[in-house]
């Protein structure tokens, strides 16, 4: 009995010390497998770029580095598990050996009988069975807990932008937008992308924003749905500070078409329906017709039930863009942001997409970011945005007559036409 009681503190100390080692090794395994998965996703997404630069071996080498780190972490975890299991097994066997040795000595001195010794050995085995099961449970529990901790790390990340306690819903939005002395930089200490910007956009107007790269065109548009928070100044929608509006309500009233269209793995209908999951199949078809993609969809063997593949890999750039436009027809937002929506398309496809976009922009407040100046001639107003702020503004005709930055950019693209 004294031997058993004396062994309990040793077993507890051993279990606690090895549990910590197992926990650390399992955490490292989780980190390394996350890096492996990230590298694998990165390589698969960029497979065409890798092939075009004949860098397949380089990608394999990067994967091997991460995979070897994962294998080392997994080896370390197996070693910790083996040490724990072997240690518990060794201590239980030593305990049995001590009981048999001491018990045999007591039998020799006739303190106990042989029957008492065998009975006591059985008692020891009964006592050790729960300890062995507990040891197995601790291994499984520790591995599960490290995975749960990793999961909770992600789930507990607080969003950078949240609603105010008294935030309100937007109702009956007309689409008036105003920037009042707005300044913004991505990180503290960096040069400001926008500085003391003042801009008023009337409801229902189409405003085009052009200018050199890095002038803040996309940043300006991404501030409206609060993808980023302004450092100074105020942005209002229908006269209400966007910080006083619930994020969900604000973004429900804004539609965004980007150059890089993201389609989800699923059917064409599911991707169009993403614009408003509550809409019916008839609404989805009507949206596709407005986006001028219905006829193409009906030519497919499975029509609207055709799977687009991962990220829409089975569709061309123009087809994906028109599906994204159909999404917005379905969503029907009063404010529209077109961020380089046609810059990656060929001329023929651009004309078709431009027709869809012009249809979409009717009776909506629309901000158009464009490098191809041919797509913005009909805008109500064109802004030339540089690092210094709004350098020029006016109609296409007036800006050409002014012979400033816009005229310079236009002439670069249309030298032959101008001459």
Q: Where do the domains of the chain lie?
A: 2-155, 177-418
Query: Which range is most confident: 102-116, 223-237, 251-265?
Result: 223-237
- Averaged pLDDT for residues 302-322: 84
The count of residues in the chain is 419
Tokens 């990165």, located at residue: 42
| Coil/strand/helix, residue 168 | strand
Where residue 417 falls among pLDDT bands split at 50, 70, 90? very low
Does residue 117 carry a pLDDT above 90? no
d(CA 219, CA 190): 15
- Averaged pLDDT for residues 123-143: 71
CA angle 177, 178, 183 (to 5 degrees): 130
Which ranges in 156-201 belong to alpha helices (H)? none
Does residue 129 carry a pLDDT above 70? yes
User: Given this model, what pLDDT does residue 419 score?
Assistant: 46
User: Given this model, what pLDDT does residue 243 score?
Assistant: 92
CA dist 206 → 27, 214, 275 (Å): 53, 22, 22
Q: What is the pTM of this model?
A: 0.69
Does residue 418 carry a pLDDT above 60? no
Locate 243 and state its tokens: 């910080």
Q: Which CATH class is domain 2-155?
A: mainly alpha
User: Given this model, what pLDDT does residue 342 score?
Assistant: 67
d(CA 328, CA 291): 9
Listed in sequence order, the residues at least 6 apart from 76 whose beta carbon sits closer than 8 Å to its beta carbon are 25, 28, 29
d(CA 185, CA 197): 13
What is the H or E stretch that residue 122 is in?
A: helix 114-155
Of 30, 59, 32, the closest CA to residue 43 belongs to 59
Multiple choice CATH, 177-418, 3.20.20.30, 3.40.605.10, 3.30.230.10, 3.40.50.300: 3.40.50.300
CA angle 127, 130, 136 (to 5 degrees): 140
What is the H or E stretch that residue 368 is in?
A: strand 365-369
User: What is the per-residue pLDDT across 364-409, written as a single tens digit (0 to 9) for each?
Assistant: 899 988 877 777 888 889 998 888 888 888 888 888 888 888 888 8
Domains 2-155 and 177-418 share a fold: no
User: Given this model, what pLDDT does residue 416 score?
Assistant: 45
User: What is the per-residue pLDDT across 236-260, written as a single tens digit (0 to 9) for each?
Assistant: 999 999 999 998 999 889 988 887 7
Mean pLDDT of the chain: 82
Locate 11 and state its tokens: 């077993």
- Other residues' Cβ atoms within 10 Å of the Cβ of residue 21: 17
Which ranges in 212-346 belong to alpha helices (H)? 217-223, 247-252, 268-273, 281-290, 294-299, 317-331
- Other residues' Cβ atoms within 10 Å of the Cβ of residue 170: 19
DSSP 127: H
- Averaged pLDDT for residues 309-313: 80
User: Given this model, what pLDDT does residue 237 score?
Assistant: 92
d(CA 70, CA 200): 54
- Residue 135 sits at φ, ψ, to 5 deg, of -65, -45
Does residue 184 carry a pLDDT above 70? yes
């Amino acid at each position: 009995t004294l031997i058993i009681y004396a062994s309990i503190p040793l077993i507890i100390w051993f279990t606690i010390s090895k549990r910590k080692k197992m926990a650390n090794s399992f955490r490292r395994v989780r980190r390394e497998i996350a890096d492996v998965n990230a590298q694998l996703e990165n390589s698969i997404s960029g497979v065409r770029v890798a092939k075009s630069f004949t860098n397949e071996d380089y990608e394999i080498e990067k994967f091997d580095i991460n995979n070897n780190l994962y294998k080392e972490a997994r080896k370390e975890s197996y070693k910790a598990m083996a040490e724990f299991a072997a240690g518990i097994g060794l201590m239980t066997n030593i305990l049995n050996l001590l009981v048999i040795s001491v018990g045999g000595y007591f039998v020799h001195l006739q303190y106990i009988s042989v029957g008492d010794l065998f009975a006591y050995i059985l008692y020891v085995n009964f006592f050790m069975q729960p300890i062995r099961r507990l040891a197995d449970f601790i291994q499984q529990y520790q591995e599960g807990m490290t995975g749960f901790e990793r999961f909770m790390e992600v789930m507990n990340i607080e969003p950078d932008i949240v609603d105010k306690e008294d935030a309100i819903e937007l109702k009956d939005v007309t689409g008036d937008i105003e920037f009042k002395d707005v300044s913004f930089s991505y990180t503290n200490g960096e040069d400001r992308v926008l500085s003391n910007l003042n801009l008023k956009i009337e409801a229902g107007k189409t405003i085009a924003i052009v200018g050199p790269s890095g002038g803040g065109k996309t940043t300006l548009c991404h501030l409206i749905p609060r993808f980023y928070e302004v450092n100074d100044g105020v942005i209002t929608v229908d006269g209400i500070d966007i910080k006083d509006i619930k994020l969900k309500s604000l973004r429900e009233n804004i539609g965004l078409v980007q150059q890089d269209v993201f389609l989800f793995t699923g059917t064409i209908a599911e991707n169009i329906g993403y614009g408003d999951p509550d809409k019916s199949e008839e609404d989805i078809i009507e949206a596709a017709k407005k986006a001028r993609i219905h006829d193409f969809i009906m030519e497919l063997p499975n029509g609207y039930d055709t799977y687009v593949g991962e990220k829409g890999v089975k569709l061309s750039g123009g087809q994906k863009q028109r599906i994204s436009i159909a999404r917005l027809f379905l969503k029907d937002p009063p404010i529209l942001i077109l961020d380089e929506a046609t810059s990656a398309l060929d001329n023929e496809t651009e004309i078709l997409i431009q027709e869809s976009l012009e249809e979409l922009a009717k009776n909506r407040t629309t901000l158009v970011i464009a490098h191809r100046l041919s797509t913005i001639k009909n805008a109500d107003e064109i802004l030339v945005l540089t690092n210094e702020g709004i350098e020029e503004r006016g109609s296409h005709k007036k800006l050409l007559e002014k012979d400033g930055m816009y005229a310079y950019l236009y002439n670069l693209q249309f030298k032959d036409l101008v001459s």
